[in-house]
Amino acid sequence: MKPSYWDEAARELSRRDRILRRVIRAYPGVHLKRRADPFTTLTRAIVGQQISVRAADSIWRRFVAAVDHAPQRKFPRLAPASVAGAGHQALRACGLSQRKVEYLTDLAGHFASGKLDPKHWKQLDDEALITALVDVKGIGRWTAEMFLMFHELRPDVLPVDDIGLQRAIAIRYNDGEALPREAMFAVADLWRPWRSVATWYLWRSLDPVPVEY
């Protein structure tokens, strides 16, 4: 489902920024989309950290088979209790490192205890939700920002530590030369309150195939 703000954001960004206007026109009919529930999304983000896409997909399939009670579903919906109860040995057998097993166990504990409760997230601004997420072992600011963009569909996230965004801004706005963080924020100030949308389109200028989390 398209985010409710998407069309308005695309129109406003096209009006304000001639560079983004060309990119947005090149990719009509595509947009951010949510794929899974909060716990499953964060779990998959941890599983895929610092490994290739192919390796992550392989481990993820084994992981889902080990912890999902309905593995035939196209999009699994994992339960924190199932992950917490699987045991370290079973999770390690999926190909996960000991550290990632610890991260996943901590994530499951945060959800099971209510320390992370999606019902309360709408009351939190972006920074407050990022702070809550990075309390989990293995979730840093970049992962939290990706979650806010791709799952929570927050419209005004600017992940300045993202390599793809850094590269796109350098190519499109500075003749290929990397910009410092402060200069990236300055470029992006024109995009408020739609910085997530601008970021997503700039990613498309590097890779036309949309990523889903």
Residue in 55, 53, 73 with CA at minimum distance from that of residue 64 = 73
Report the distance separating Cα 40 and Cα 78, nearest Å.
Answer: 5
Residues 198, 204, 210, 213, CA torsion sign? negative
**47 and 22 within one domain:** no
Residues 27 and 118 in one domain: no
- Specify the DSSP class assigned to residue 211: P
C-alpha–C-alpha distance, residues 156 and 13, integer Å:
12
Long-range residue pairs from 168-173, CB within 8 A, at least 24 positions apart, any chain: 168/202, 168/203, 168/205, 168/206, 169/202, 171/205, 171/206, 172/19, 172/23, 172/202, 172/205, 173/19
Based on the domain organization, do 94 and 20 belong to the same domain? no
pTM value surpassing 0.75: yes
pLDDT digits (tens, 9 = 90+) for 87-127: 999 999 999 999 999 999 999 999 999 999 999 999 999 99
Instruction: Map tokens 């399939």 to a residue.
Output: 61
Concerning whether 162 is annotated as a catalytic residue, the answer is yes
Three-point CA angle 49, 109, 146, nearest 5°: 35
Domain identity same for 122 and 167:
no
> Quick one: 133 and 42 in the same domain?
yes
- Could you list the residue range(s) of the whole structural domain that residue 168 is in? 6-33+157-206
Q: In 69-136, at which residue ranges do the beta strands (DSSP E only) sit?
A: none
Structure tokens at 105: 């166990």
Count structural domains, the chain: 2
Query: Is residue 134 one of the residues assigned to a domain?
Result: yes
Contact in structure between 78 and 43 (CB atoms under 8 Å): yes
pLDDT of the chain, 213 residues: tens digit per residue = 899 999 999 999 999 999 999 999 999 988 998 878 999 999 999 998 888 878 988 999 999 999 986 655 667 889 999 999 999 999 999 999 999 999 999 999 999 999 999 999 999 999 999 999 999 999 999 999 999 999 999 999 999 999 999 999 999 999 999 999 999 999 999 999 999 999 999 999 998 776 665
Indicate whether 185 and 126 sit together in one domain.
no
Check whether residue 22 and residue 71 sit in a common domain. no
Q: Roughly what angle, to the nearest 10 degrees, separates helices 195-206 and 163-173?
A: 80
Q: Are residues 23 and 44 in the same domain?
A: no
106 with 162, same domain?
Answer: no
Residue 23 belongs to domain with CATH number: 1.10.1670.40
The residue from 68, 126, 162, 207 that is catalytic is: 162
- Tally of helices (H runs) and strands (E runs) in the chain: 12, 0
42 and 111 in a single domain? The answer is: yes
Could you tell me if residue 79 is inside a domain? Answer: yes
**Could you tell me how far CA 116 lies from the centroid of its own chain?**
17
